[in-house]
């Protein structure tokens, strides 16, 4: 298994590379330093990951790029459209409690907890792979997903992209478009983890790809960092839960196998084993 970890000052550490024929990519995670606590492949308990724990440091209180230009400014790249699967969740409710965003019927029998950082490349692989197996069960009311959006990679890599993205994701809940925007944010993740691409201007361009998302309230929240306090609450929830890297996924309280996260069929088997299909 190749274990990816983001260092405290930026960079990547890859160790113990073994072919992963089943899923086509190595099971990996983003974390804040080069230590390896063993995680899933060494019998780690729920909440553990293959990377070391982030410092319990909330994002800076400064407003992220409050004077960034509107979408269409010359500094922001063009955005890609989100995957069509996000539209299946367009009518699914999303709500916020504390630092957690819940998507799906609150009374759903099963709960999947997802811990992510928007700058983490392995979270993108999860969203494009294993997470696709959740779309149907969530749309059908069988599962609710509880997202905890971390922002520790800003501390590791510099910049404010994780904080900016988390703030915008929180704003999209108020606009009633969180599932679609969440998919769009990961679809537009920069190729290099160290690129601080999630500026307010670029996040607004991403929002242009989600029907009905742009509006005065959303745009102001993204540009002015309206939910920066909530971003700190979400990071605190991440550390309080003892999570040590991203992505970490719990299915009804049990940690999903790391080597199931990046391929839809493999993660569907994990869900089926938990009684979800």
- Tokens matching residue 144: 């609710």
List strand residue ranges (DSSP E) for 118-241, in order: 143-150
- Dmax over CA atoms of the chain, in Å, equals 49
DSSP three-state, residue 190: coil
pLDDT along the chain (277 residues), means of 10: 37 32 49 42 36 41 40 66 86 97 98 98 97 98 98 96 98 97 97 92 97 97 98 98 97 96 98 96
**What DSSP character marks residue 124?**
H
Q: Is the bond preceding residue 187 a cis peptide, omega within 30 degrees?
A: no
- Tokens matching residue 269: 């088997």
Strand partners, 203: none
pTM of the model: 0.79
Q: What is the pLDDT of residue 179?
A: 96
């Amino acid at each position: 298994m190749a274990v990816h970890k983001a260092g405290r000052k930026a960079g990547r550490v890859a160790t113990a590379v073994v072919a992963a024929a089943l899923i086509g990519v190595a099971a990996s995670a983003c974390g804040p330093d080069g230590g390896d606590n063993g995680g899933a492949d060494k019998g780690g308990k729920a909440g553990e990951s293959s990377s070391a724990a982030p410092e319990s440091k909330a994002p800076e209180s400064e407003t992220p790029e409050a004077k960034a230009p509107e979408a269409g400014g010359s500094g922001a790249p063009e955005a890609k459209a989100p995957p069509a699967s996000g539209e299946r969740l367009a009518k699914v409710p999303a709500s916020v409690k504390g630092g957690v965003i819940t998507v799906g019927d609150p009374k759903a029998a099963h709960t999947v907890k997802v811990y992510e950082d928007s700058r983490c490349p392995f979270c993108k692989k999860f969203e494009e792979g294993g997470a696709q197996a959740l779309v149907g069960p969530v749309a059908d009311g069988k599962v609710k997903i509880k997202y905890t959006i971390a922002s520790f990679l800003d501390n590791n890599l510099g910049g404010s992209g994780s904080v900016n993205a988390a703030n915008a994701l929180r704003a999209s809940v108020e606009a009633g478009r969180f599932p679609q925007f969440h998919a769009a944010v990961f679809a537009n993740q920069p190729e290099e983890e160290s690129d601080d691409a999630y500026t307010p201007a670029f996040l607004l361009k991403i929002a242009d790809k989600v029907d009905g998302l742009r509006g005065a309230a959303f745009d102001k929240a993204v540009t002015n960092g309206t939910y920066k306090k909530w971003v700190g609450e979400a990071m605190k929830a991440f550390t309080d839960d003892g999570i040590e890297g991203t992505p970490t996924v719990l299915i009804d309280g049990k940690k999903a196998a790391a080597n199931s996260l990046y391929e839809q069929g493999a993660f569907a088997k994990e869900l089926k084993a938990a009684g979800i299909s």
